[in-house]
Amino acid sequence: MNRMGYGRRGPSSFNKLDSALAFREMGLKNGDAFADLGCGAGDYSLYACSITGAEGKVYAVDISEDMISGLREEIRRRNLCNIIAVESDICNSIRLSDDSVDCCLLATVMHAAKLMGNDKNLFPEIMRILRPGGCLAIIECKKEETFFGPPLSMRISPEELDGAVSPYGFKKKKCVDLGYYYMMLFSY
């Protein structure tokens, strides 16, 4: 981790919160398909592989060619077979099939990609790829001053997030405290 809080392969929130707790709360299990939307360096995706196992699948999606090629290298290095890195703009269309995913994660993407109010295609696309009964997990920085992370003006409160997501038909299940972060879980 360098001075900017970036890991070797790029910026990541993964090591700044209790990721094991986040995955337990998501309820991800062996055999599931998991989509990490805006995966960045892919730390959540690489961890998810160990949960979903050989019978499951992990789709790591990012708009950045650099992030995706770096992750593909890491996948090759670790010789993983149950993860696919997909270059795709999630605000446009997500290059995954209908009803193909049990759980979608957006980890510190909503604020970074300025998706609040620019989510016209995002949530319908997430609904399209989620299997009925699937789960949407959104991790964001708490809306408070911290020594790292985005300025307060870019941060999204749980209430604002719920207000943006619920109109699309997702139902809020719970909000999990992750220290500097929170995770909101939705079903549909």
Ligand X SMILES: C[S@@+](CC[C@H](N)C(=O)[O-])C[C@H]1O[C@@H](n2cnc3c(N)ncnc32)[C@H](O)[C@@H]1O
Q: What residues between 129 and 188 interact with ligand X by CB under 6 A?
A: none
One character per residue 17-56, x = contact with ligand X (rule: CB under 6 A): ---------------------xxx--x-------------
Number of residues near ligand X (by CB under 6 A): 20
- Please choose, out of 60-68, 123-131, 154-162, 169-177, the segment that lies near ligand X by the rule CB under 6 A: 60-68
Q: Which amino acid is at 173?
A: K
Q: What residue ranges in the chain does DSSP mark as E strands?
A: 6-7, 10-11, 33-37, 57-62, 83-87, 101-107, 130-141, 171-178, 181-187
One residue of 22, 28, 67, 176 binding ligand X per CB under 6 A: 67
One residue of 18, 29, 64, 100 binding ligand X per CB under 6 A: 64
Residue 89: which of 105, 65, 116, 72 has the closest Cα? 65
Query: Least CB distance from residue 44 to ligand X, whole Å?
Result: 6
Contact 83, 4 (CB under 8 A): no
CB of 112 or CB of 116, closer to ligand X:
112
Is 126 near ligand X (CB under 6 A)?
no
- Please choose, out of 20-28, 104-112, 141-149, 180-188, the segment that lies near ligand X by the rule CB under 6 A: 104-112
Here the tokens at position 138 are 């959104």
CB of 89 or CB of 99, closer to ligand X:
89
Is 14 near ligand X (CB under 6 A)?
yes
- Please choose, out of 18-26, 72-80, 89-97, 156-164, the segment that lies near ligand X by the rule CB under 6 A: 89-97
Contacts 24+ apart (CB under 8 A), 9-13: 9/41, 9/42, 9/67, 9/70, 9/71, 9/74, 10/40, 10/41, 10/66, 10/67, 10/70, 11/40, 11/41, 12/40, 12/41, 12/43, 13/107, 13/108, 13/139, 13/141, 13/181
Q: What is the contact surface with ligand X in residues (CB under 6 A)?
A: 11-14, 38-40, 43, 62-64, 67, 89-91, 107-109, 112-113
